Amino acid sequence: MIKKILIANRGEIAVRIVRACSEMRIKSVAIYSDADRHALHVKKADEAYNIGSDPVIGYLNAHNIVNLAVAAGCDALHPGYGFLSENPVLAEICAKRGIIFIGPSAKVIQQMGDKIEARKAMIEAGIPVIPGSEHNLESVDEARELANKIGYPVMLKATNGGGGRGIRRCNSEAELIPNYDRVVSEASKAFGKPEVFLEKCVVNPKHIEVQVIGDSFGHAVHLFERDCSIQRRNQKLIEIAPSPQLTEAQRRYIGDLAVGAAKAVGYENAGTVEFLLDGENQFYFMEMNTRLQVEHTITENITGIDIVQEQIRVASGLPLQYKQEDIHYRGFAMEFRINAEDPKNGFLPSFGRITRYYAPGGPGVRTDAAMYSGYVIPPYYDSMCAKLTVWNLTWEGVVERGRRALDDMVVYGVKTTIPYYQEILRHPDFRRGQFDTSFVETHPELTNYVVRPPKDMLAAAISAAIAAHLGL
């Protein structure tokens, strides 16, 4: 069994992995930049090492991180999500230095990270894919020819992209021509390769993904699906498990597809197979994320399976603890990405000091946070500072529990997306479980909320007024 893990990440996911290590009696090692010296993951881990003054470069230097893992006496490395989590070079270096990489092999990361190679693998496995490129586009003229063949609208995508970056929708040739150069530029800057491909745009689909886990003995299972349709500019905001929009037959079908996709590429460890569901109830493979997902918490809530601990077990060479028939789901779970952003001001990032923070509690409420009272959210990283996850036996119950938990969650000092999510939960379409990826775009009025003073602030103001009136 693994004895000591270096966590090659930061923020709430690093804290999450530290907690899994603690329960398994495994030593945890954190890394941090100067900007993160007061971060929660640094305080929680058994050991912590500075990786430099630059806020980002240290987290992206695979050689230095693995050298540090060796020097610290670690026998494994967990990449979390983001940064180097889907970089095959990190997995290769770990293998060469005798460090267990808690994730799939470098070969699989490379194959599934290349969207063209992933499409080819899925086609060979009989998994339905969106009509589009069979190879990387070589010119805008080739893009125009293919777009005219499959019909507009189309999506231009970075072949090695992810996280909602390097994607542009083109409704006509007039939009395709300038967007081609933009996506090539974005692909070069964000992913180091100017490779681009084209797909038919599935208009207003439902975004459904399936959590899978495979071991080194050829076994693979799914942990049911998550509905990620509530998103803005390809960035997920609210995730739900299981989807309230699928029938049981659809649930079984997409679960089988995801396991078939994992087995087709010899997948080991935790991963996510993402699909789009169109208006004709046709599922299309979109991509496979070869890492732990932000939204893994809702899957853990409905299945009772600790995905991070299972990752560590599989990486240790142990077989999966569960067969597919042993895995069941119960109730509904919903995750809110609490971002330090101002929805009323175009979702502008709102970095700064958390003057006070109150986490929600009660039955069926879980908070994964990187913040605390007095913590300064640095401006160098993603704006997500916490994840709020709620669970209830029924769809109606989980919506109400989400509303109550968001009311309980109070963050002073920065703007957050909390009041925006409260508006979403009030919308009748959402409450009926009827939404797709166009929901946020087609409901701009949801940002016109009135900011209500937190209950404790109101109570404090009343107390102060009474005290002043009495001359106390």
CATH number at residue 306: 3.30.470.20
**Is 124 part of any domain?**
no
Q: Are residues 437 and 405 in the same domain?
A: yes
pLDDT digits (tens, 9 = 90+) for 168-184: 999 999 999 999 999 99
Residue 313: per-residue pLDDT: 98
Number of domains present in the structure of the chain: 3
> Catalytic residues, which ones?
291
pTM value is: 0.92
pLDDT digits (tens, 9 = 90+) for 260-307: 999 999 999 999 999 999 999 999 999 999 999 999 999 999 999 999
**Is 320 part of any domain?**
yes
Q: Are residues 416 and 379 in the same domain?
A: yes
**Is 184 part of any domain?**
yes
Q: Are residues 228 and 142 in the same domain?
A: no
Q: How confident is the model at residue 165 (pLDDT cuts 50, 70, 90)?
A: confident
Is residue 463 over pLDDT 60?
no
Of all residues in the chain, the percent with pLDDT exceeding 90 is 90
The domain of 337 spans 206-455
Q: Is 77 in contact with 100 (CB distance < 8 Å)?
A: yes
Domain harbouring 147, CATH code: 3.30.1490.20
Q: Are residues 279 and 425 in the same domain?
A: yes
**Is 11 part of any domain?**
yes
pLDDT digits (tens, 9 = 90+) for 34-92: 999 999 999 999 999 999 999 999 999 999 999 999 999 999 999 999 999 999 999 99
Q: Are residues 150 and 257 in the same domain?
A: no
Of all residues in the chain, the percent with pLDDT exceeding 70 is 96
Residue 189: per-residue pLDDT: 86
What does the mean pLDDT of the chain come to? Answer: 94
Domain harbouring 62, CATH code: 3.40.50.20
Q: Are residues 196 and 279 in the same domain?
A: no
Q: Parallel, antiparallel, or unpaired: how do β-strands 154-158 and 196-200 relate? A: antiparallel
Q: What integer is the mean pLDDT of 211-228? A: 98
**Is 73 part of any domain?**
yes
**Is 402 part of any domain?**
yes
Is residue 14 over pLDDT 80?
yes
**Is 109 part of any domain?**
no
Q: Are residues 231 and 188 in the same domain?
A: no
Q: Which of 200, 225, 250 is the last residue of a domain?
A: 200
